[in-house]
Structure 1
Amino acid sequence: MPTQDESHKSNLTNPHGLGDPDDRRLRIVEKEVLIPKIMRDRAKKEKCVAEVAEFTKCCAASSLLMAYTCRKENALMQECQSRWYKDEGFKKECEDIYFKERREFRLTGIPKKHRLKEPA
């Protein structure tokens, strides 16, 4: 565990005091919340597109009875997403995406949501 002086030194190497941009250690919240969120979003938007579309279409057509009517579509969507959550290569890709975003934040001090906006 780094001493207070070592921790302070690593923050000094960063112009914004946000930590070492090249540090690849993960906090618990990053492992259990932030990286799984990237995995969920990517699985939904890139890997299970057909399953998500079918489930969405079923829900739109079923309104109040969707929980009962769309069980099959929901199961297929969940199965697809679960397959990707268990894929170690996919998890590694998502970790790399997270590290890249975190590095950019630590270098610039600008959160991702603000970096994505077009300048006015």
Structure 2
Amino acid sequence: MEPAPGAAGNSKLRHVEKDVLIPQIMRDRAKELCSDKVQAFTKCCQETGLLMVVKCRQENTALKDCLVGYYSDPSFYEECKAEYLKQREEYRATGIKKKRQKFTPNV
């Protein structure tokens, strides 16, 4: 017998979970993993002002390539999905929403 939709053991995903909540985790983690490129692009934009569209192309391309690399990686999606399911299970069991911790890669 399958658990009820709101039950702690249910791993089925609703539309909003698949299309909004898990991608949000992916975006947050990808930004953290690409933080050096985010910082380079931000620094370039701050230094060049209105000319950033022209002068920061290289930094923008590097940042976009890094982020898209993570967004299009099926194993990264599964990793973020597992993280979301763990958070959801803890919330359903305790009723307490945890703040998302910053991801630190094991380097």
TM-score range relative to shorter protein: 0.7 to 0.9
Q: Which residue of 81, 85, 89 corresponds with 2:67?
A: 81
TM-score, length-scaled by structure 2: 0.81
Deviation at 1:23, TM superposition (A): 1.0
Amino-acid identity (%): 49
Task: Report the alpha carbon displacement of residue 74 of structure 1 after superposing the two structures with TM.
Answer: 1.0
Spell out, residue by residue over 1:42-82, the C-alpha distance to the aligned partner (whole angstroms, 9 max, x if none): 11102x12211211111121223323321221111111111
The amino acid of 1:102's aligned partner reads R
What is the distance in 1 between the residues matched to 2:17 and 2:95? Answer: 18
Residue 28 of structure 1 corresponds to which residue in structure 2? 15
CA RMSD of aligned residues (A): 2.2
Aligned length: 100
1:1-120 correspondence runs (5 A): 10=4, 19-46=6-33, 48-113=34-99
Structure 2 unmatched ranges of 5 or more: 102-107
Q: Residue type matched to 1:25 in 2?
A: K
Gaps of 5+ in 1: 1-5, 12-18
Secondary structure, counterpart of 1:112 in structure 2: coil
TM-score, normalised by the number of residues in structure 1:
0.73
